[in-house]
Structure 1
């Protein structure tokens, strides 16, 4: 990879290795998100309509290793979890549910990488964890709770976007 490639290439110009490196590894994408709508039903976060709002929870996918902030089955995640969204260059513009701190979203919006990003810290996640930008120590596994109680797990910390 060329040094600071994200400053000279658009997301659509990146090769697969560069694309994968943009992920900061915060694991916020592994949190369950719910749409607040007029019908008051839970439904997948595929579409958001005017007047609706996405609520983040501290409920994490059962595949998440919450210590390392990594999917334990990354290559098979979309097979094992059918509503897991694989972020691509083609669907980036439609992923309204990614938090403001998401590095893909930041680059897409022209905001650059945050100072705590691993690419700016010798490939290490420690600055991200120290800044509180990952899910480490903040989640419960979906396999350990009753999903009917999801309201008890609504949180606002995923929306933080410190630089």
Structure 2
């Protein structure tokens, strides 16, 4: 991968020297590590605002690649899909703690498995960070009332927990 850091390279990577707002489209898109965690359905407690994660994947999430099946048109199919931009990244409480956008917004570095560091888009899967093999299809759970049966904690766990 072009943006990966080679051993001994002294060039400062763009995500360490630019703000989210300064990144071009290519740089911005490359911050996504392809884990698919943000594409899991979540339940929000109306009284407390607390978010509970499910292992139910969005209808557009490809369970193998952990990428959106129709990224350019996702909002037309999934009206509650929230496009990420610098402002939303800084305000969404539910972005996973491993999310590249969240890490950069918080002034933290990317994890070793991030494709920008590893040079390999499969490293996020090999590290066990992605949703690959851990989800069920939303189509199989059309009744939101049953989603509480699918609550999980792993999407918000930090690595090593």
Deviations 1:39-78 (A, max 9, x none): xxxxxxxxxxxx4311110001111110000110000001
Q: String of CA shifts for 1:88-144, please: whole Å, max 9, x gaps.
A: 12322221111111110111111111111011111x232211221100000011101
Paired position in structure 2 for 1:23: 32
For 2:40 and 2:59, the matched residues in 1 are separated by 10
Report the Cα distance in structure 1 between the residues aligned to 2:158 and 2:112, rounded to whole angstroms: 11
Matching of residues 12-161 of structure 1 within 5 Å: 12-38=21-47, 51-122=48-119, 124-145=120-141, 146-161=143-158
Task: Give the count of matched residue pairs.
Answer: 150
Number of the residue aligned with 1:11 = 20
Partner of 1:44: none
- Taking the aligned partners of 1:85 and 1:78, their CA distance within structure 2 comes to 8
TM-score, normalised by the number of residues in structure 2: 0.86
- On the 8 A contact 2:89/2:95 being kept in 1, the answer is no
Q: What is aligned with 2:6?
A: none
Which TM-score applies when normalising by structure 1? 0.85
Gaps of 5+ in 1: 39-50
Checking the alignment, whether the CA contact within 8 Å between 1:133 and 1:160 is kept in structure 2 is no
How many angstroms apart in 2 are the aligned matches of 1:56 and 1:135?
12
RMSD: 1.6
Q: Identify unmatched segments of 5+ residues in structure 2.
A: 4-10
> How far apart are 1:8 and its partner, in Å?
1.2
After TM superposition, what 4+ stretches of structure 1 lie above 4 angstroms from structure 2?
Answer: none
